[in-house]
A and B are shown apart, each in its own frame.
Chain A
Amino acid sequence: MSDANVYAVKTLTSKEYFAPGHRACSGCGQAVAVRMVQKALGRNIVMASATGCMEVVSSPFPQSSWEVPWIHVAFENAAAVASGIEAGLKAQRRKGKIDGRKITVVAMAGDGGTADIGLQALSGALERGHDFLYVCYDNEAYMNTGVQRSSATPFGAVTTTSPAGRVNSGQLTWKKNMMRITAAHDIPYAATASPSHPLDLVEKVKKGMETEGPAYLHVLSPCPPGWGIAAEDSIQLARLAVETGIFPLYEIDKGKHRITMNLEKLVPVKQYLKKQGRFRRLSPEMMEEIQERVCKEWQELREKAEQIDPSAGADEALSKEQEGETEAAKIFRVKAGAPV
C-alpha cells in the first residue's frame, strides 16, 4: 500500500462547516463524525436536524455552529422536513426561481430520532423516494437527556432506564438493525460508517450525495459520558467496534452488499466491552452470547456480500500487496481508515 493513504486525511477540505465553540462534551465522538460528514458534504446543502445531542450543543440561541443552511425540527420529523425541502427545491427549480445546480438535502438525527421517534417519518420519506441523504448518528442511547435506553442500545448495556440489578445486567433486548429496516425499503444506497475510518466515511457520504433517490448512512458515535469511557478513548472505541465485528462497515449499493472494511480475523468482543463502564456488569455468559451473535451476523453479512459479488480473487491480490508494507505503514493505514 502506498504512502498516499497515510497522508490521505489531509485531502479533506480544511474548511470547517461545523464551527468550533460548540458545547459538545470533551472527546465527543459524534462531533468528530459530524465534522467529517460536513467536510464531505460541502456547502451546497440544506440540512434538517432532529432534536438530539448535536442540535443542543450546536445551536444555543443566538448562536449556531453551522456554516450551511440548517433547520432545527422536532424529534420525529427530520425525514419529513427533508422531504418537504426537496419537494420545494424541485418546484422552485421548475419555476425557474433557482438555477439548476445540485443542492443536496440532508436530514440528520440521533439513534432516538431515527430508530424510535422518527422511524415513521423516515420510512415514509424512503418509501416516497425523495432524493436526500439521511445520516443517523448512533450513540446507542438518549445521551442528551442523561443516558436513557433507546431501541439502538446494545444488549447488556447499562443505561438509567435499563439499570443493572441482582438479576439483569443491563439492556435485555438486542440492538435494532436499522440497516436491514432501511434496506427493506429497497432504497438505492445504505451504508454504515465510523469516525475512526475517515476516508471510508467520506467516500460513503459522497456516494450517498450522488445517489439519485434516498440514501441512508448509519454512523457510530462513541459517547464518553454515556458509554463510561475516557474522553481520549472515543475514536479508539469506534475502531474497536469495527474490528470486533460489532459494527461492521459495509454498504448496500442497489441491493448489492459490499464489506468496505474487510476483517480477516475478528478481534474478540471482550476487548471492546471491557473498556466500557456501561458493560461493567456483564457476566461471562452474556459476553459469550454477544460473541456468538456477532460471529453469526458477521458470517451472514459475508455470505450476502459474497453471494452477489464473488470477488475472492481481488481479496487475495490485496493481501499480497499488503504483505510488503512496513509495520508503520500498516498502522497508518489502519488509523487513517483507508478503504479496502
Chain B
Amino acid sequence: MLEIRFHGRGGQGAVTSAELLAQAAIEEGKYARAFPSFGPERRGAPVSAFCRIDDKPVTLRTSIDSPDVVVVLDPSLFSAVDVTRGLRKDGSLVINTKKEPGRFMFHGLKQLAAVNATQIAQEILNRPITNTVLLGALVRLLPVVKVESLISAVQNRFSGKIADLNVQALERAYEEAQIISAGDVDIEKQVPCFQEKEPPEKGKEDKPCKEDLDYLWTELTPGCVVQPGSTRDNLTGDWRSTLPVMQKERCIQCGLCWAFCPDAAQVQEPDGFFSVDLDYCKGCGICAKECPTGAIHMEKELEL
C-alpha cells in the first residue's frame, strides 16, 4: 500500500489533489481512499489531506502518520508544520520551492521532486492554487498513476477553461520538475534543512513557541491566560498573493484604507501617508476597492 500525505493551506486545494489522485488510481483499476484533516475552516490555515492506493480494497480510514510520500503545496509550511513527520526511511518528498532543490535533501530521503509551483500556478491559472501543479511533479517522480489517468481525473472534476488550464499546469510541472535521488548529491544533513534551528537571538531565547508544539497540562497557566496581543508573533503576510501599492500623488490621507483593513496592516507614517505592513497584510484588496481617489491598486506578488 502506498501512503501519500499532502500539506497545504486552506484554499490551495490539498484536499482536491488527494481526491484527484485517488480518482486516477481508481480509474486504473486500483483501490484508493482519500480524505482531509483540518480544524476550523479558514482560507490560509494549514490543512493536510491523505491518499492511500493499493491493489486490494483500502479499509484504513485513519490519518497517515508514516507516509511513503509527502507533498507540500506551500513553501511557507516548512516553518509552520513538521511536514516530514513520520516519513518512512527511503521515502519521497515533493515540494513547491523556487530555491535550489539540493539543499532540501537529507539522510534517509530516497528522492525529491522540486518545482516552482507558485510561479507556474500564477502564470497559468492566475492564482496561487498549486494542487494540480504538484500532482504533475508527483507523477514525474513516482509513477503512482499514469499521467493520462490523472489528466482525465482533472477533466472529470473541472469543466471548460478551468479544466484546460489545470491540465496545462499539470503538464508543465511534469516537464519542469527537478528530480534528485539520494545517489546524485552529497548529503550532509541529517535532518531536513527546515528543521534546523537557528541559534536564538539574544534576549529572545524564551519566546513563546509556535502553535504546533504539544503542551503538557502542567505547563499551562491557570485559566489558560496568555499574553495580550500575542498573535502579533504570527505573521500572516505569507497568505498574500496580491499586494496593495499606493500612489502618494493621489492620496488625500483620508484614512479609509486604515479604517477598513481587517488586519490593521495600513499604518500611518509620520508624514501622514499610509504604508502597508507587509508582515500582516493578507492581500484582500479592500483598501484598493474602498479608496475614494483610486490611489491604491493591487499588484501580483511574485516574490512569494
Contacts and interface: CB of A to CB of B under 8 A. Distances in A.
Contacts of A340: none
A35 B262 CA distance: 7
- Give the secondary structure class of B's interface: loop
A64 B230 contact: yes
Contacts of B193: none
A20 B230 contact: no
Interface in A326-340: 328, 331-332, 335-336
B264 A335 contact: no
Contacts of A57: 40, 42
B260 A235 contact: yes
Contacts of B256: 9, 335-336
Interface in B178-227: 208-209, 211, 215, 224, 226-227
Interface in A46-81: 53, 56-68
Given A32-B261, A145-B41, A198-B259, A26 B283 contact: yes
Nearest to B263: A20
B42 A23 contact: yes
Interface string B244-261: 000000001111101111
A64 B224 CA distance: 11
B228 A231 contact: no
Contact of A23 (B208, B232, B234, B253): B234
Contacts, number: 167
Given A19-B231, A232-B289, A335-B290, A25 B44 contact: yes
Contact of A7 (B39, B233, B254, B282): B254
A92 interface: no
B236 A23 contact: yes
Centre residue among B42, B209, B236, B259 by max chain A CB count within 10 A: B259
Interface residues of B, number: 52
Given A19-B264, A336-B256, A24 B211 contact: no
A236 B285 CA distance: 12
B260 A21 contact: no
Nearest to A69: B228
A235 B227 CA distance: 31
A165 B265 CA distance: 41
A146 B235 CA distance: 24
A35 B264 contact: yes
B254 A6 contact: yes
Interface string A144-180: 1110000000000000000000000000000000000
Nearest to A30: B262
A58 B231 contact: yes
Contact of A62 (B226, B258, B262): B226
Nearest to B219: A62
Task: Tell which of B211, B282, B283 has the most Cβ of chain A within 10 Å.
Answer: B282
Interface stretch (A10-18, A204-212, A306-314, A317-325): A10-18
Nearest to A143: B41
A61 B211 contact: yes
B229 A66 contact: yes
User: For the side of the interface on A, what is the size category?
Assistant: 35 or more
A67 B228 contact: yes
A213 interface: no
Interface string A125-159: 00000000000000000011110000000000000
A19 B229 contact: yes
B277 interface: yes
Contacts of B268: 14
A63 B258 CA distance: 24
A316 B209 CA distance: 60
A41 to B, nearest CB: 15
A61 B226 contact: yes
B41 A144 contact: yes
B289 A233 contact: yes
B46 to A, nearest CB: 10
Given A19-B229, A232-B285, A331-B292, A9 B264 contact: no
Interface of A: 6-7, 9-10, 12, 14, 16, 18-29, 31-32, 35-36, 53, 56-68, 143-146, 195, 198, 224-225, 230-236, 328, 331-332, 335-336
7 contacts: A7-B253, A19-B228, A24-B263, A26-B262, A35-B262, A59-B226, A64-B226
Interface of B: 39-45, 208-209, 211, 215, 224, 226-236, 239-240, 252-256, 258-265, 268, 277, 279-280, 282-286, 288-290, 292, 298
Q: Which 3 A-B pairs have the closest CB atoms?
A: A232-B285, A27-B284, A31-B262
